[in-house]
Structures are given as structure tokens and as C-alpha cells.
Structure 1
Amino acid sequence: MAFQSGAEFGSNVKAAYAALMAATKAAGRLPSDLSFHRTLDETLDAQLARTSATALRLANALWTPVHTPPARNLASIDDVAMQQPQQADGWTAAPGFSRVVDGIDTLLERIDVGLDEVLRRPAHGQRQQTVASAPVKMADARGVRVVHHGKNVARPQLAFDDAVDNSAAPFAWRIREKPHALVPLEHVAAAGGAAPEGPMGAHLASLGVGYELPHPYAHEIANQPVARQLYEERAALEPLAWDATPFAFVDQPEALARMMEHLQGAGEVAVDLEHHSYRSYQGFTCLVQVSSRTHDFVVDALALRSHLHVLNAVTADPAVVKVLHGAESDVVWLQRDFGVYLVGLFDTYHASHVLNMAHHSLAHLLRTYCGFEADKKHQLADWRIRPLPQEMLDYARSDTHFLLYVYDCMRNELVARGRRLVGRDVGTPGGACFGQLSLGGEQTVVQAAQDGVDAVVRRSRQTALRRYAKEAYDADHGGGANGWAAVLR
């Protein structure tokens, strides 16, 4: 088949979507008692028979060549159709429906690979080389090379110790022990109540709206004393030189234990995650980057997925400030994949808003405070790739290497602003105050306006209180996570 131009290809895609939209809408208008109407109207019965035959022919045209060797033809469209049995609620899939879904997935995979090869087509006369598990690169409109996704990467989910749960059942805690607890874990579970029993409980579970456990660290996040260092204005500590900073790629339990031993003596740690969601129902975390004042770590979250619950020894410690930027997603990914929670979060994204900065991205903060220009070409990288290329490893490491210095600068600006607004030093009694905090046993009145440190702490606590919940999927109407309705819009 001749290669189509971009405009021609785009118009054909739009035409295909329009046809799919029309077919979907037409199917949605079919009455549930169609069989009854067929018995009353011979003309309608004949038209539907012809339509079914056409659908069967098209299904076989798609289905048969997908498999190697080619699969046998479908005998009837009823073998693969969604059906609504009489005297039953909802729809059921015919026995062959899942095979068709798998076949369509195979077609999409072939299209994806084909597009990659077209976009990376070598010059005339050159040989094109394909390396398994190597990143596939595509050029954007400005000629910048952008890592998009890996080719021939084995699915890491298949090697997880815990089976991936894509069911409609409510999310269950992964946490089994609770370091730095004010309220024991079993008390939190008991306070959450019990799931409904009987038919109502079964019905709610089938809809994916059954019982969900509360946030296991909600009380600690809301009530633990704020780390004293947040209210201290002190010289910002510049990060060590890149090449002089000890770095470790952590992919073994022994290396993880050494990292935890180091972090438990830190006053602040910077944390970031690299996540994969391309053609994945819920997605999964691939890397966890952690930096202290003196060390950088990149943790292989695929290899150590079942071990990373130990991070709670640091992440749930209120005495250790956890510095993240834009942690809305990171918070729920840590819960979902590892059972890890953040007590004592300082989100520099919230700080940028409180300080009324012109821009709020991490790239802007790194440029403003560090003079570091973040390399954006790896934003769409496939973080499943192993071994990671050095440039991707450096990109991941850079997200946290400079972040504690950014935190120092922003904290100092917030403290100084609070002092200017109240017209007196922090710690002076009297006047309007945001709240009283217990700092090292000494009751200190912290005078700070709402756009000071307290505002960032409050907003960061709200972020840390986010709770992971599965997004319901509506197969009939295409709603929910990765719903087909979004594709047709």
C-alpha cells in the first residue's frame, strides 16, 4: 500500500472516527426488545439479517488475518457479540468476545510499531536497526529528539510479586504496619466501619462503589507537629557538584537497606517519581528518586516493588521534611503501588503559588533558583526500559538533586514575608496569629500571615490526605478511566 501524506492520513483517521461514532450512536438507539419487533415485521427481520451478515463479514476480515496461523472464521456474529439475556440485568459477553478484544489489541500494537518505523524511517539506502528494549525516539516539530516509548519491552507487571488488580473491587490497603503512628493501624480500619452485607453489598461491589478504607495516616498528617526547621530562616545550602555527589542506583534489597539507614539521619529529603501509564489500565511507578543533602538515589521501583513499604520509616516521620513538587499524583501512586504515605510534606508547587511566582513548574523553579535548565526531551520517556540509558538516569536524578536547595530558598522567602507582614520577629507573642505549634516542647506563637509557611503546610497536608481510589469504568457508555467515549469525541 502506498504511503499516505500527513494530510491524507489525517483525513482518513477523521473519517474512520466519524464512522465509528455513527455506528456507536446507532447501536445505542437499538431497543432492548429488538427480537420481539423482528417477529412482528418481516421487512425489519430481513434488514437485520443482512446487517448481521455484513457485520460478520467485517469481523472475519479483521479477525482472521490477525492470528498466525490465521484463525478460523467466526460462524455467527452471536459468537462475539455483547448480549442482554432475557430476565437478566446488564449485558454479557459471548464466549468469543475476549478473543476479538485481544485481536484488536494486536492490531493496535502493529499500528503502533508501524508508526514508529515510519517516523524513524532511515535515509534511502541505509539499513534500519532495531534493538530490543531500546528506547524509540521520535523528532518533534522543532527537531528535538523525544524519547517516547520502548520497543519490545517485556511487561514488568508479569514479574510483580503482587498480582495487578484491575477489577471493580474497591482499593485495599497495601500497608501492613504503621511506623510513627499516633493511631494504630487496626484502630483506623475499625473506625472506618464495615462493608454492607447481603444483596446491597454485592450490588455496590459490582458497580465498583463498595466499601473503601479510610486514609491510614489521616490523623498523623493533620495532627503531628510541624518540623521545627520549617520556621527557621537559615542560609540555603547549595547542592554538591553533580560529579562530586555520591550516587546509587538501588535495585537490590541490600542497597535499599543502606539507603534507608542513610535517610533516617536526614532532616529533609527530596522525592520524585517516574510513572508509566502508556496503554496500562491503572499505570505503575517505575522509579523513585530520593536525594538527601549529600547523596542522590534512584530506586528501581519495578525490581523492588514489594520492598518499598519500608520507605514509611522516613516518609511517615514528621521530623523529616519531605520535599516534592506537584505531589498530587505522587501521593496516590505511592499509596497504590507500595503502601507509602507522606507525613510532613512540603510541596514546592504550593509554595510557588503562595509566593505569587509568575510560573509554577519545576523547570521554572530550577531556572530561577539554580540557573539549571531542565532537559524536557525525556518527559515522555518509557521508564520501564532496563538498563536505563545514562541520559535518562541523569534526567531522573536531576529532579531531586537540586530540589532541597530550591526548598531552602523558598522557605527563607516565606519566613521573611511572614515577618514583614506582621511587622515583628517570628516568636514574638501577641497579635493575630495563624496557630500555635508545639516545637520541641516549647510553646512558640508563630506569627505568619496566610501566605507564609503555614499556608504551604496547610495546602501540602491537603495534598498528602489524598486517597487512591479506582476510577469506575462504564463499559456501556465509555466513561471512566481510558473510556472509549473519550476517543470518539
Structure 2
Amino acid sequence: MANLDKSEEKSAQMLAATRNMNETAAELANNDVKFHRMTSNEFAARQDASAARLLNLVNILYSATGVSMESKFELPMELTDRWEEIHEANTELLEKADLQLDSLTGQKENLSVGKFELSRNTLKPELMHGDIPKPQLLFTETINNFDELPFKPRLTSKPNAIVSLADSLELVPGTFGRMMYVNPYTVEIEKAKYPKYVSKLCKPIEPMPLETSEPIWVEDEASIKSMLKELAQEVAIAVDLEHNDTRSYIGLVSLMQISTRSRDFLIDTLKLRGKLQILNKVFTDPKIVKVMHGAGSDVTWLQRDLGIYVVNLFDTFFGSTMLDFNKKSLAYLLEHYCDFDTNKKYQLADWRIRPLPEEMAYYARCDTHFLLYIFDRMRNDLLGRGTISVVNKFGVERETTGIAEVLQESRQLAQKSYEWPVYDEEYGKGIGGWLSISTKFKIFDGKQLDVLRALTRWRDQVSRAEDEGCQYIIPNRYIGMLARRQPRDRAGVIAIISKSTSSSVMSRVDEILEVIRRGLDDGIAIDAEMTTAGQEATATNEQESEKQLVSDEMTQMRRMNLASELFPESDSSKNFLVGQQPGSSCAVQSKVFGNLL
């Protein structure tokens, strides 16, 4: 207890010191700092010494995290350029501090669950980037990342159909003015009725203890059929996917997890690619609810890679929103409903690795093992809310129930349809676009933005050609650094990209230099074009002004002549000239003035 008291005392002292420092810094404006540096050598020297001391502290703290470091921080400006590195290290430090505090206060005496310790440290390098051949090289289909035709549903048959497959393949306007196919199960999803039990209170069924069974690995057609036979007997199944978006341009569904009340299945979607459409017998069966969490991407990934569609989805993310939970993640639901502490670091793992390491298989299994129990508990909580009022986007209020809203949101989500990614050069949105990089790295300067756009356009083309993720070719942080620094030689480019890029890009240093040069030249050309247009507009305005001036002078002369004729040797002519109306000749002047106008 004495240690805790001492810790609280230290924390109070640090808080007070930090508050005083922030208040003092706020009183000293940036311009004042520049002024004092210019007028006081002592001030400048002390500021430089403080900066050097802070940089040294940053380097010391960084090294304590265990996070790989590009290089030591040498200059204060690097703290801005390499902010993403600092953020990563800071997050790691805070997580370690959190664990130590929990351990000290006894809030979490044992940080392990089951047989694996759920360490919050970063993943082992070999789990993040597997040194394996690209699975897509073994696919029977040809990968074409330059295809400009709409993505066509992979379906070869349509189980549980209301509308035939042929009549379901309808083209409609899609994103960026391109055509797209609607979801071929749109009618079935709209007309499907959820089983009645979904809207009734239930006694939650506890999940089977993890230690009492092993997951079933599905990697051949025989095991698919065996699993399908079991799934067909269920009224609800839990589904999740693990995805790799690093070593493929559009990404790869690398693993599927399906859980029933008694079994957990891990399906090798890489080995079985092209053989899993048979699962549509279950996935489109309206009598079987498919429970997923945050299925916005999963729904379209299933369509894109496996030709699988979902009818009667229940997305627990919408339930979290309707119940006003502070957090909406699956990790939070596991903790809230199951008192299960998981670690989402494995989201960053390379799920293409085979054989799948035991710790990764354990994590994957946990994502669906508890989900049906959460489904039970969440439905009860939603039903306990009774009738609620909701307001739609048009401001119309209506009475409904929480469970009805979740089902409607899930139904709409299931109707999504996959489209090929399009590089949005104009607005920079979407996969590999420049907008998020510009915002994150505050790249708004004209030349920097020109280079950024040129680099992201080039990266997109290289990623498509090599079937690699844009972040694998060159991560966003390095794209941002290249755009800001605009190196003009090979050494400058290599200094930025050498730490975290693909080997193939290291052979493209000259290309990157050319892209930077072209980006600058294009920017200059655009500036020149705008300048020319501006000059032409200015010249036109000047000509118009000269014409107007001549016209005004002629009008004045006509007024003067008329005034002289109407009011000879009178001051009234002067009044008329400036628009004043002498009382004795008001009617005459108004008539003349009106005719002039």
C-alpha cells in the first residue's frame, strides 16, 4: 500500500509540473520565441540545449519499447516527419504501463487465458511477414488488376433462389461513373424473414470450454462436405474472416472461421479457393442466421474471393451501437459478455502462413467461439429496451424496437455488392489514394501535393502490375516523406524508403526520382497554365475597364452638352452633371436623365 501512496504522490507532482509547463508554453507565442532567439544568444543556447535533451529522452524512451526504429532522432523537425513512429512507440509504452499498473493494483493478476499468454507486445516478425510463395500463383484463375469491366458475381448456381441466377445479374451505375452488378441475392435478402426465436427472450447457451476440444481444420472437399452436413442442422452459425491486404492488390481472404454451439471450424480459403460456393446452401438459407461482427468488409470479401452471399445476417456491431456501448469492437463484446480478454494484435498477422501457427489458430477460433453466446445475450438486452423512437435521415420519427433496427441494418448491409477498386486521381479517395496521406501529414502546399499525387498514382500502377498491396510497395508514411522532402538524387530517395519497403521497389529508385521530377514539372506546368489564364483574364478585365471608362467619358460629355442647352449660363448644368436635381427644373432633368440611362 505504501508503494501505491508513493506512486500517487509522484503522479500528482508530475501532473502539476506538466500543467505549469503547458501554461508557461501557452503564454509564449511562436513569434515571441523567434524574437527572443534573435535578440538573446543565451535564450537561443538554452532552447537548443532543451531541444537536444528532449531528443535524447525521446530516443531513450523509444529504445525501451522494443519497436524497430528507422534511425535515431537527430533534428527536432524529424519529430514531425516521423510522427507515426513516435505514435507507435507511445502506444506500446502506454500499453506496457497499463499492464504494470493492473498488475500492481491486483486488477488483473493473471494475464493469460487458456494455454496462451495474451501478450500485448508487437507480433514476432515471422508472424507479421511470412516468407512464403504468393498463394495466388497457384490459383486457377488469372489475376488481372487492370480489368475495367464490372466485377461479375462468381456464382455458377444459386441455391435457395427466388429469382433465377440469369435474371439476377443486373447492371446498374456504380462508383465513379462505372457500371456494377447488383447483389444477385438482393430479392432473397429483402424477402427473407428472420426465424421467430430471434425476436424472443432466451436462456443464453454457455459456450463450450475451449480446453475441452480442438478446432476442426477444413482443407479438402471431403471435410467441406462433412462440415456442410453439420452446419445444415443449425439455426445459427458464427462466421468471421481473416484477410491479408499486404501481398495482393485487392487482398486475399486467407482463413474463414465458422462456429456452431459445439464445434469450431477453420477453413483454408486459400487452398479451397474456387471450391467453397457449395457453402451458399447454408449461407443463403433463411432458416439459419449468420452471426458476424462488423461484417461491412466481410460481406464483399466473401463475394469477391469465394462467391458466397449472406441471407439473414445478424451483425453484433449494430447491436453494440443500438445498446450505446462505449466501444463497438469484438474485443469489447468478449470482455463485456464473456469476461474473456483477447488481444487483437493478431489482426496484423500474415494469415497466409501455412501451417498456421498454433497461437494464431487459437486467436482465430476465439473470434467465433463465443459469438453465438454474445448473440443470445445481446438479443435479450435489445429486447429489454422495449419500444424506442428513432429518427431517419429525413427527420421523420417512428416507433420501433432495438432488435428490429439491428435486423434492418444487417439486412441492408448484406445487400452490398463488390466493385473493383478504382484509383481516384481527382479526389484521392479509396485504396492507395492521396487524400488520407495529405490529411495525415498535412501536405497542402501546391508542389508537395503535386508530388504526392504523382507518387500515389505511380504506386497504384506498380501495385496492380506486381499484385501487391500499396502499403507493401511503399507505406503511406514514406510516400508522405518523399512528397514533403522531394529528394533530387538516389541517396535521398534510398535514405527514406530503404527501411520499410519491398525489395522490388529498391530497384525502382530511378523511377521514383523521375516521378518526383514529373510531379514537380506537372505542378509548374499547371501553375504556368493558371498564370497564363490569370493574365488573360486580367488583360480582358483591363480591356473591359478601358471600354467602360471611354463609355463613361462619352456619357459625361453628352450630359454636359445637354445641360448647357437646357440651362445656359446657369449653375444647374453643374448640378445636373453630378446627378443633382434643381427644384425649378426637376421634371425636365428627370426626363433627360432617364433618356440618357
What TM-score range do you get, normalising by the shorter chain? 0.5 to 0.7
1:67-86 aligned within 5 A: none
- 1:449 CA displacement: 5.0
Write out per-residue CA displacement over residues 425-469 of structure 1, whole angstroms, 9 at most, x where no aligned residue. Answer: xxxxxxx99xxxxxxxxxxxxxx9534211000000111111111
1:363-378 aligned within 5 A: 363-378=331-346
Q: Is the 8 A contact 1:271 1:324 kept in 2?
A: yes
Which of 151, 172, 188 is the equivalent residue of 2:168?
188
1:107-186 aligned within 5 A: 143-145=121-123, 149-167=128-146, 168-186=148-166
- In 1: Cα distance, 2:401 partner to 2:72 partner: 50
Cα gap change, 1:7/1:398 in structure 2, threshold over 3 Å: closer, same or farther?
same
- 1:211 CA displacement: 3.1
- 1:480 CA displacement: 4.6
Partner of 1:7: 73
Percent identity for Structure 1 against Structure 2: 39
- In 2: Cα distance, 1:11 partner to 1:149 partner: 30
- 1:340 CA displacement: 0.7
Write out per-residue CA displacement over residues 28-53 of structure 1, whole angstroms, 9 at most, x where no aligned residue. Answer: xxxxxxxxxxxxxxxxxxxxxxxxxx
Q: Is the 8 A contact 1:281 1:481 kept in 2?
A: no
Question: Where does structure 2 lack aligned partners over 5 or more consecutive residues?
Answer: 1-68, 83-118, 391-397, 434-454, 457-475, 484-597
**Structure number with higher relative contact order (C-alpha < 8 Å, ≥ 6 residues apart):** 1
Q: Is the 8 A contact 1:146 1:377 kept in 2?
A: no
- 1:414 CA displacement: 1.4
- In 1: Cα distance, 2:268 partner to 2:76 partner: 39
SS at 2:182's partner residue?
A: coil
Letter of the 1:5 counterpart? S
- In 1: Cα distance, 2:268 partner to 2:134 partner: 15
Write out per-residue CA displacement over residues 51-97 of structure 1, whole angstroms, 9 at most, x where no aligned residue. Answer: xxxxxxxxxxxxxxxxxxxxxxxxxxxxxxxxxxxxxxxxxxxxxxx
Asked whether 1:466 is paired with 2:443, we answer: no
Q: CA RMSD in A?
A: 3.2
Which of 402, 411, 415 is the equivalent residue of 1:452?
402
Partner of 2:196: 228
Asked whether 1:293 is paired with 2:261, we answer: yes
Letter of the 1:218 counterpart? T
Asked whether 1:250 is paired with 2:218, we answer: yes
Partner of 2:32: none
SS at 1:7's partner residue?
A: coil
1:237-386 aligned within 5 A: 237-245=205-213, 247-386=215-354
Query: Structure 2 length normalisation: TM-score?
Result: 0.51
Cα gap change, 1:8/1:232 in structure 2, threshold over 3 Å: closer, same or farther?
same
Which of 203, 214, 218 is the equivalent residue of 2:186?
218
Letter of the 2:73 counterpart? A
Q: Is the 8 A contact 1:312 1:340 kept in 2?
A: yes
| More off after superposition, 375-384 vs 475-484 | 475-484
- 1:389 CA displacement: 0.6
- In 2: Cα distance, 1:450 partner to 1:264 partner: 32
Question: Where does structure 1 lack aligned partners over 5 or more consecutive residues?
Answer: 17-140, 196-203, 423-431, 434-447
Partner of 1:441: none
Q: Is the 8 A contact 2:171 2:179 kept in 1?
A: no
Partner of 1:83: none
- 1:192 CA displacement: 4.1
- 1:223 CA displacement: 1.2
Letter of the 1:178 counterpart? K
* Structure possessing the higher radius of gyration over alpha carbons: 2
Query: Structure 1 length normalisation: TM-score?
Result: 0.61
